[in-house]
Structure formats: C-alpha cells, structure tokens
Amino acid sequence: MTPQPLSVVAGICSSPQSGRPAVAVLTCIAVLVSMLISAYVLDANGIPYDVDGGNPLVKIHPMTYLAVAAFGAAALSRGNPLRYLAECLAKFPGTAFFIVVLIVMITWTLLVQHQPLTSLIDTFVPAALFIFLISDLTPRQHRLLTIAIHLIMNANAMLGLVEVATGWRLTPITLYGEKIDWDWRASAFLGHPLENAMMTGIYLLMMLYGADRSVSPVLRMAIVAAQTGGLIAFGGRAAMVLAFALMAVKMISVFVSLLRGRRFDPRLAGLVVMVIPIVIGAGLLAYNLGAFDRMIERFTNDGGSAETRASIITIFNSFPLYDLLIGPNPDVLVTKTHFEGSIAGIESFVFGFFLQSGLIISIIFFFGLGALSFDLWRVGTRMAPLYLVYFYIVASGAASLSVKSQTMVQFVILFMTIEAMPSVFDREQ
C-alpha cells in the first residue's frame, strides 16, 4: 500500500539507515508544509501573511522557519558547523554562490531601497536550503518523500477538478487580503492558480519524459491524464500551451520511433487503444456540458492581462537611467504601476526585479540564480534542461519570483524528488 504523505515522517524516524533522524524529519515536515500550506491557507486561518501591516514575524511562511531550523540542525549534527558548510559548498557550489548573492541582494534591499525583506526570504531562502537538505537524505528517506510528493501532486490535480466542477474552494482566492469571487480557477493545495498551473505543467512533463523510473508505464499514463485535467482546471494559459506543445512533440517522437521499428509492450499498446476512445468521449461530453467554456473564454478574453504586460515597457521607459540602474523610488513605482492599470503588480519577474531593485543588482542576482539552476541541472537527468527552460519561460510571464511566493521553492522540491538522479542519494549518512 502506498504511504500517505504524513506517514513519511514516521518512516524516516524509523529508518535504520538514518544517522540524523531529527534533521530528516525537520526536512520532511518543511517540504510538506511548503506543498500543503499556501498563502491562501494562512489568510483563511486569520494569519495576515499576505497583507500590509501587522507582526513582521507572521509575514514569513512557516516553511522558511522549518527549513532554516533543519539546516541549522544539520550543521550542528556534524559537530563542527563549518564542516557542514564546507560539504555544502563542495556538493553545490552554485547554490552556495547564490546564497552569497542573495545576502547581497537582501542587504541592498534593506539599506538602499528600505523595502521589506520577506519577499526575498520566503521566495528564495527555503529553495536554496532544500537543495542541501534533500540531497542529505538517504535513498530510503528520499524515496518516501518522493512518494509523498507524487501523492500530493495528484491529489492537488483531483482537488482542482472538483473545485472547478462544483464551485467549492478549499481556500478562497484572495488579493491583498480581499476575497475574489469572480475567478473560476482552482486553488487546491498549492495556492495561486498560476503557481498551480506551473507546477502541474512541470510535473506532467517530468512524468511524460520519464522522470522517476520507478513509476510503472500504466501509472505514469494515469498521472499524465490526471495532470492534464488539472492543468485545465488551474487555467494558466502559458503553462498549458507550452506543456501541450511539448506533449505533442513527445507523442510525435514516439510515433516516429515506432515507425522505425522500436519495440513496445503489447499490453501497454492495448491499454492505450482502450483509453483513447474513453478520453475522447469524456472530452466531448465535457464540451457539450459547457465545461470548457470558461477555459475558452480565458483565451479569447484575457481581462486586460496582455495590456498590463505591454504597459511594463511604458513604465520602464518613464524612469531616467540613474533610477533604472539603482532602482526607482518604490512609492513612485507603485503609483505608476497602478496608473497603468496593473493592480496585481508587474506581470514579469524579470522586469519586476529590474524595476524594484535596479539593473545593476538584478543582473548580479540573475547570475546567482543561474548558478543555482546549474546545480539543479547537474543532479538531473538529460531532460533536466527542458524542465528548467519550461519553468523560467512560464515564470517570466507572471510576477512569480519577483514577489513573495512559493513558486521557486516548489519547483526545487519537484526537481530534487521527482527528477534528481538516484546517484545523488546512493550513500548513507
């Protein structure tokens, strides 16, 4: 029987291979919290996480506290914390460089721009720490955590479909603490619909292109079908179009290889033949019932989203070169952004960084982000570049990384569990 996500903690505690069970348990809990406790969950439970004012301690997500605690425990468990830091530097030099750059970025934001730091802390600190912490797990611990992530992602897709079909929400969609009733898209476990769509698209592609070889072909097919439905429920256009295009590329590639004489399992082929008519029939039934109407409307009427993105150039050109280099006055930036009609902010994390922090520090920061991404590429399979490119293309079409979000953290978790090669975890602690 497949273990439930929370049972992973018990499995890790009882692991005879674990030399540091407390660190592994803290890591596991931090990962589960980041995947299951969205900003919407905090807001729905009266925690003013994503609104202005209030206690600054509640502006930092619980996953960040847990990740820092796990990293501190890991350093202390070595006896000499400097030894653990040296190990982290040796294993993931790019991530270590990113942390140094992040510290510079935080210092710049605090001393030069006098802006809150929670956006940088929550968005990037746990992401970097999880690369170190998840790589420290033993093979058995990592397998249990990977199973939990599979369960969460598929439960998330199913919950998204239920939310869209019924109109019920696990947690309401909010903006600056205000409930949004007009948005039909699902929020499920991961929170914002665009974050959901991005992670669902990445997970779908990982399953389609062969990540986690322990997943059987039949189960893999079922997961791809579930995530395809979830992608529609979350309504992310860029995530959907790019994912479906890459799905088509994969299907064409398989078809061509079969024409060239590639061997295949007749049982799997028979299953495909049986499933295709069912999928087509279900799709036609859903269409006749009007299930796709809102999705089609989202493509034909974007609610001004395209104009909002186009206004970024107008905002960018309205500042003198000096302001663009070091970062414009935050109050002036907010005023101009609202004047251009972008209530939700700058819908491009690249331009968001440039306008919020300035070109100089942003370019340095992007070099650090590239170094972290290189570390992820090193531990992944040959398809790792595809997932990285997909992530950054889709993320660049939204505020994503330039605001407080769990986008980068959840991507790192998916990469370090589903995609990372077993050789990363082939040793004992």
pLDDT 10s digits, 287-319: 664 556 666 666 655 555 555 666 677 777 778
pLDDT band at 75 (very low <50, low <70, confident <90, very high): very high
Instruction: Classify residue 341: in a domain, yes or no.
Output: yes
226-242: average pLDDT: 87
**Shared-domain flag, residues 63 and 94:** yes
How far apart are alpha carbons 346 and 314 in whole angstroms?
12
**Shared-domain flag, residues 172 and 310:** no
Interior/surface letters 356-376, b for 16+ CB within 10 angstroms, e for the rest = bbbbebbeebeebbebbbbbb
**Shared-domain flag, residues 217 and 319:** no
pLDDT band at 103 (very low <50, low <70, confident <90, very high): very high
**Shared-domain flag, residues 331 and 194:** no
Q: What is the pLDDT of residue 421?
A: 83
Name the residue with higher pLDDT: 377 or 58: 377
Q: What is the pLDDT of residue 275?
A: 58
**Shared-domain flag, residues 341 and 240:** no
The tokens of 1 are what? 């029987």
Among positive and negative, which fits the CA dihedral 40, 42, 46, 49?
A: negative
pLDDT band at 15 (very low <50, low <70, confident <90, very high): very low
39-62: average pLDDT: 84
- For the chain, the domain total comes to 2
> Of 287, 316, 347, which marks where a domain is finished?
347
Instruction: Classify residue 353: in a domain, yes or no.
Output: no
How far apart are alpha carbons 363 and 394 in whole angstroms?
20
* Domain encompassing residue 316: 305-347
C-alpha to C-alpha distances, 272 to 211, 217, 248, 265, 276, nearest whole angstrom: 20, 11, 16, 11, 6
Instruction: Classify residue 398: in a domain, yes or no.
Output: yes
pLDDT band at 1 (very low <50, low <70, confident <90, very high): very low
**Shared-domain flag, residues 375 and 228:** yes
Closest CA to 192 of 409, 405, 410, 50: 405
pLDDT band at 13 (very low <50, low <70, confident <90, very high): very low
The tokens of 335 are what? 């005023």
Instruction: Classify residue 416: in a domain, yes or no.
Output: yes
**For the chain, give me the number of helices (H) and strands (E)?**
20, 2
Residue pLDDT, tens place only, 104-159:
999 988 887 777 777 889 999 999 999 999 999 999 999 999 999 999 999 999 99
Name the residue with higher pLDDT: 17 or 375: 375
Residue 182, pLDDT > 90, answer: no
Look at the block and give the residue holding tokens 């007009």. Answer: 182
Among positive and negative, which fits the CA dihedral 254, 258, 264, 269?
A: positive
Q: What is the pLDDT of residue 44?
A: 85
* Lowest-confidence pick of 176-190, 203-217, 266-280: 266-280
* Lowest-confidence pick of 143-152, 201-210, 251-260, 420-429: 420-429
Name the residue with higher pLDDT: 262 or 189: 189
How far apart are alpha carbons 360 and 326 in whole angstroms?
6
Q: What is the pLDDT of residue 323?
A: 81
> Of 319, 347, 375, which marks where a domain is finished?
347
**Shared-domain flag, residues 255 and 313:** no
Q: Is 36 left (phi over 0), alpha (psi -120 to 50) or beta?
A: alpha
Instruction: Classify residue 355: in a domain, yes or no.
Output: no
Instruction: Classify residue 155: in a domain, yes or no.
Output: yes
Mean pLDDT of the chain: 82
How far apart are alpha carbons 25 and 37 in whole angstroms?
17
Q: What is the pLDDT of residue 298?
A: 62
Instruction: Classify residue 300: in a domain, yes or no.
Output: no
Q: What is the pLDDT of residue 279?
A: 60
Q: What is the pLDDT of residue 32?
A: 96
Instruction: Classify residue 152: in a domain, yes or no.
Output: yes
Residue pLDDT, tens place only, 189-222:
998 898 999 999 999 999 989 899 899 888 888 8
C-alpha to C-alpha distances, 330 to 118, 326, 327, 377, nearest whole angstrom: 16, 11, 8, 35
**Shared-domain flag, residues 82 and 212:** yes
> Of 322, 347, 372, which marks where a domain is finished?
347
How far apart are alpha carbons 282 and 320 in whole angstroms?
56
What is the residue-wise DSSP string for 67-136? HHHHHHHHHHHTSSHHHHHHHHHHH-HHHHHHHHHHHHHHHHHHHTS---SHHHHHHHHHHHHHHHHHHT
**Shared-domain flag, residues 211 and 330:** no
**Shared-domain flag, residues 92 and 225:** yes
Q: What is the pLDDT of residue 330?
A: 77
**Shared-domain flag, residues 110 and 18:** yes
410-418: average pLDDT: 96
Contacts made by residues 53-60, CB under 8 angstroms, sequence distance 24+: 56/116, 56/118, 59/116, 59/118, 60/118, 60/121, 60/122
**Shared-domain flag, residues 13 and 68:** yes
Q: What is the pLDDT of residue 301?
A: 58
Q: What is the gyration radius of the CA atoms in the chain, in angstroms?
A: 22
